[in-house]
Structure 1
Amino acid sequence: MTTLTTPLGDLTRSGEVALRILKTLPGTSVMVFDTELRVVMLTGTTHERYGYQSEQVEGTSMVESIAGRPEFAALLPRFREAIQGETAIFSFQMPGSDRWAEIETGPLRDDAGQIVGGVLVSRDVTEGLAAGRALDDAEALFTRVFEDAPTGMAIVSLEGAFLRVNGSVCEITGYPAERLLASTFQEITHPDDLGADLDYLARLTAGEIRNYQLEKRYLCANGEYVWIMLSVSIVRGEDDAPRYYVAQIEDISERKRGERDLRFRAEHDSLTGLINRPRFEKELTERIGPDRRHRRSSALLLLDLDGFKALNDTLGHQAGDRVLQHVAEIVSGRLREQDLFARIGGDEFAALIDDTDETRARGIAHELVELLRSSPVAIGERTVRVTASIGVTPLDAGAGDSATALDSVDQALYRAKSRGRDQVA
């Protein structure tokens, strides 16, 4: 508090201008008192709200005035401290009211520095306190929502540093909060996902979009990646300048696993685990279609089991299923990982052999026929001999589309069957 240095006798002259200014300030009162705690001057507006008029108070003893208003008794020690040279600032709820004042008390000195009285300045701060409480309440509510949210939430700087994270982010990633707050989102984002995320952030910062959502992967503390749904918005200042990002992070690993399982079941044969006909035809189209950049010599094989219907009718469908699994295992063991092998019908299998000419492809087909012939399958107490016929068609620059290739290899298979089966055509 600024200590007044004018003698009380001269106060109405030297302090008059300042006090007039104070009087014009809304919600402010100034009281000057001498060392006997008599009110020398009272000006302003605050005191009038509580039944005190300047002309009634000036010249009276504060001790006597307060004695008639005991609810103000807590102020009396502050007045005495002021004339002892002490200053104080404190909040005071006006009795019988919901209004609050900030009160400042201090000594009044003459030109020689001697204390000749004291000064009290009272400012009504009710609205300010209410606004502060509202802000505190809002902050407390935000903190509860932020910390207790089942979804991960993070405050991120414009450079990508984590400024604040909740417990759900820690659970999703496996990192403690201290580790995350010392890192950036770039450090834990899968390299393949980072570009798209940064592109969205640039558009968000530039004001082109208000928010965005992105499926991406975070590197977890255990070294594995977790799929998340990231939702990001931006907080701007009063000047519309970007301040920070707010990110919501949802663990979608279970959903992704479910999608992978559904996709696998949609594209694979449940009995043998091989890809099915729709997936095979799609892959075949991509490999031999006109849009492929580098055409390589390849061949298409179509394998059909000999006498499979009779086996099913005689031994039952369980026996037939075991034979199909056996064939899938034998052929898969011979083909390379890069070759494409599928079950495309009841007892029909197809293989796309890359980087091979027709002669080598026929050699592979003969090997497969021999392998199946020499590998009987045990079904219960019986041993069943399995044979197959295989059609082969080369896929070169003139192979056409997948439908043409499949029609060609089907004709080749028909020729193998017509020649007595258990052979290649």
Structure 2
Amino acid sequence: MPDDLAMGTSSSAAQTSDAVRFGRTMQSISKVLDLAPVPMLLLERGGTVVFCNRAARALVGVSVDAAAPEELGSYFQSGDGLAVSLQCDRLWRGEASSFRGEQRVQHSDGAPIWVLLDAQLVEGEAGGEPCIILQLTDIELQKQAEAALIYSERRWNSALESARQGVWDYDMRRDHMYYSKMWRTMRHIPEDEEIGAKHDSEWYDRMHPDDVPRMREIARRQGQGEQGFDILEYREKTRQGDYVWILSRGGPIEWDEHGTVLRAVGTDTDITHIKTIELELAAEKERLRVTLESIADGMIAADATGHIEFMNRTAEQLTGVTAVEARGKPVRDVFRLRSERSGDVLDCPVWSCFEKQGVIRVDDDGILFGQDGEQRDVRCTAAPVMTADGVLAGAVLVFQDVTQSRALQRQLAHSAAHDELTGLPNRAAFERALTDAIAEARSGQRDHCLVYLDLDRFKPVNDSAGHAAGDELLRQVAQTIKGVCRSHDMAARIGGDEFAIILNGCPLTHGRDVAGKIVRAIAALVFTWAGRPYQISASAGVTAITSEPASPLGFLGEADAACYAAKARGRACVVTFAEMNGG
């Protein structure tokens, strides 16, 4: 046999032997891997998946009976599959014997699943072909928890930063202090600057000298375990050389088995602005005391029993009682209020603020009856005065004479609800009254009638005599309508020469009669302008306001339609909506 042929035959036999040995290796490993609870893949050189155990099939959604993919990339998300293949190539080349990393496998439903990937190169038996075992540990829940934790931390950090809350965390086991970004920002300390082990002494060094003795005493009492010293206020120097007021809240969160504090956490807030205001208010207090005698509002100061201690000049004028006479009297005997709407005596605001332990306001319903017989609309506020210990010390009553402004408000309210030309309620007021009438009808209280009135031959008056004549005629028509209606009926001008009347508690038959009287009264009206007489008439439509309209038009639409029908019949007449429908 030629040598080259003999060598070829020998090589072929060796390859067959290697394949046999590799097959036996695979079978042996596969049996073990299939029983393992951890998902595993078995790879041969070139990256072909030759075995996928039961746990791996369950992980990627491949049934036990179905053929598992042979391409390694089919098990992973696109970018992750390439990364795994490159790592496997390193193992085949002998550059590493294992690798470990986090990748995303592809479930059969398309959902990615995070896994911890652990790859090992396993040598074949008796010099046979090696293989790679990929172990896939499901860490999806861990990844979700990590994402939730990151989100939570970001949210709280954002909230603390937005609220300008600086956080400190003292680990006493390591004697280490952590300071947040905002904590450093309010002191102008760079984020990357290391704050050394002497953080306590450095803290006192930054503190205002006047605050150091007090804060050392508080720290001593805190160390003794006394309660009530977990909120501190002090001044601290920034890197810019100015002092800021710090409000520090904190306390222990970890203890050892002996009760010794191991860790404390707290927040610092810059309250410089608030402290500045407090100091300004203290200075203002003295100025206010001098000012009270000259303010334009009435002011009464009472003690904790509700007896008058002080009353300024304006209060004397509004109540008709001098300060000398009022001193020592109950506030209710001097400041007597009645309700504008009901006329009933109102509770004394000072006593009300005592009972409710809060501010009492009377804004729009109070009438002050003075000892001199004068009645004035007033607006008042009563507030309790508390001591620093939270004990009731008295009350302050401040009140204003708003007689003129309320009169103006009443005028404005009347103008907003009434037609400026005729003095009748306007369309907005009519619609509110119609809504109330419908509500009464639907609740079964009573039915009403709605009359829609449109003037006939009104336009010629405007065209020939002018708008001034038309305006005067409308005023006379309005008075004519009011003269026929009852005092509790609602007559309104809802358009140019259109009027509507709500006849309260009126049946349809009677409502038709009333509409007829109005039509006849208007027809009898002789209007003269510049020596020339004008004759007009009116057409009226009537409908009943019941629990539900008779048609989709609604009650106003029904009355309008009936009025249109009256015009079609020759004008100067009355038509009910029921007549239009054969009623």
Q: Is the 8 A contact 1:375 1:386 kept in 2?
A: yes
Aligned to 2:346: 194
Aligned length: 285
Q: 1:306 Cα shift?
A: 0.3
Q: 1:154 Cα shift?
A: 0.6
Taking the aligned partners of 2:438 and 2:348, their CA distance within structure 1 comes to 31
Aligned to 2:300: 154
Q: Is the 8 A contact 1:235 1:246 kept in 2?
A: yes
Aligned with residue 369 of structure 2, among 206, 220, 228 = 220
- 1:368 maps onto 2:515 in alignment: no
Aligned to 2:530: 380
- 1:351 maps onto 2:479 in alignment: no
**Could you list the per-position Cα deviations for residues 320-343 of structure 1 after superposition, in whole angstroms to 9, with x for gaps in the alignment?**
001100001111112111101100
Letter in 1 for 2:336: I
Q: Is the 8 A contact 1:341 1:352 kept in 2?
A: yes
**Could you list the per-position Cα deviations for residues 204-246 of structure 1 after superposition, in whole angstroms to 9, with x for gaps in the alignment?**
52xxx4x454314133336564332323332224542212101
**Could you list the per-position Cα deviations for residues 361-420 of structure 1 after superposition, in whole angstroms to 9, with x for gaps in the alignment?**
111111111111122123231222231111111112233899711011001100111011
Q: Is the 8 A contact 2:380 2:397 kept in 1?
A: yes
- 1:332 maps onto 2:482 in alignment: yes
Taking the aligned partners of 2:438 and 2:415, their CA distance within structure 1 comes to 25
- 1:249 maps onto 2:395 in alignment: no
Aligned to 2:211: none
Taking the aligned partners of 2:326 and 2:492, their CA distance within structure 1 comes to 46
Q: 1:156 Cα shift?
A: 2.6
1:85-104 map, 5 Å: none
Query: With CA pairs under 8 Å and 6+ residues apart, which has the higher RCO, 1 or 2?
Result: 1
Aligned to 2:382: 232
Say what the alpha-carbon RMSD is for the aligned residues.
3.1
Letter in 2 for 1:214: V
Using a 3 Å threshold, how does the CA distance of structure 1 residues 179 and 328 change in structure 2: closer, same or farther? farther
Q: Is the 8 A contact 2:441 2:447 kept in 1?
A: no
Aligned to 1:170: 316
Q: 1:314 Cα shift?
A: 1.1
Q: Is the 8 A contact 1:174 1:220 kept in 2?
A: no
1:199-214 map, 5 Å: 201-202=353-354, 204-205=356-357, 209=358, 211-214=359-362
Aligned to 2:274: none
Q: Is the 8 A contact 1:269 1:275 kept in 2?
A: yes
- 1:258 maps onto 2:413 in alignment: no
Using a 3 Å threshold, how does the CA distance of structure 1 residues 398 and 139 change in structure 2: closer, same or farther? closer
Aligned with residue 467 of structure 2, among 294, 297, 317 = 317
Q: Is the 8 A contact 2:519 2:572 kept in 1?
A: yes
Q: What secondary structure is seen at the aligned counterpart in 2 of 1:289? A: helix
Taking the aligned partners of 1:163 and 1:410, their CA distance within structure 2 comes to 66
Q: 1:301 Cα shift?
A: 0.5
**Could you list the per-position Cα deviations for residues 1-43 of structure 1 after superposition, in whole angstroms to 9, with x for gaps in the alignment?**
xxxxxxxxxxxxxxxxxxxxxxxxxxxxxxxxxxxxxxxxxxx
Stretches of structure 1 lacking an aligned partner (at least 5 in a row): 1-136
Q: Percent of aligned positions with the same letter in both sequences? A: 29
Using a 3 Å threshold, how does the CA distance of structure 1 residues 362 and 168 change in structure 2: closer, same or farther? same
Q: 1:278 Cα shift?
A: 1.0
Taking the aligned partners of 2:552 and 2:468, their CA distance within structure 1 comes to 33
Which has the larger displacement, 304-313 or 239-248? 239-248
Which has the larger displacement, 259-268 or 277-286? 259-268
Taking the aligned partners of 1:291 and 1:418, their CA distance within structure 2 comes to 30
Letter in 2 for 1:184: V
Q: Is the 8 A contact 1:281 1:402 kept in 2?
A: no
Letter in 2 for 1:219: L
Q: Is the 8 A contact 1:300 1:395 kept in 2?
A: yes
Q: 1:178 Cα shift?
A: 5.7
